[in-house]
Amino acid sequence: MDCMMPVMDGLTATKEIRRWEKEVGSGKITIIALTASVLEEDIQNCFAAGMDAYLPKPYKSNQLFELFNELKLA
């Protein structure tokens, strides 16, 4: 999830997805924060919004695949 999207930022979108999951009783969707910000406060805001992991931009594909493995998504 890109944290700096137009119209609705990634934090708000994640909160809405988590609200929807509870509302309909669905399983949890894995959400990974993708952002150029490396400030600790911004990273913590991602987790507080309900994101499962954080990956700073720019990133290499192998970093993304490693994260998938850590989250058991591969």
Q: What are the DSSP calls for 32-71, one per residue? A: EEEES---HHHHHHHHHHT-SEEEESS--HHHHHHHHHHT
pTM value? 0.88
**What is the helix (H) or strand (E) element at residue 14, kind and residue range?**
helix 10-24
Using one digit for the tens of pLDDT, what is the confidence trace for 8-40?
Answer: 999 999 999 999 999 999 999 999 999 999 999
> What are the structural domains of the chain?
10-70 (3.40.50.2300)
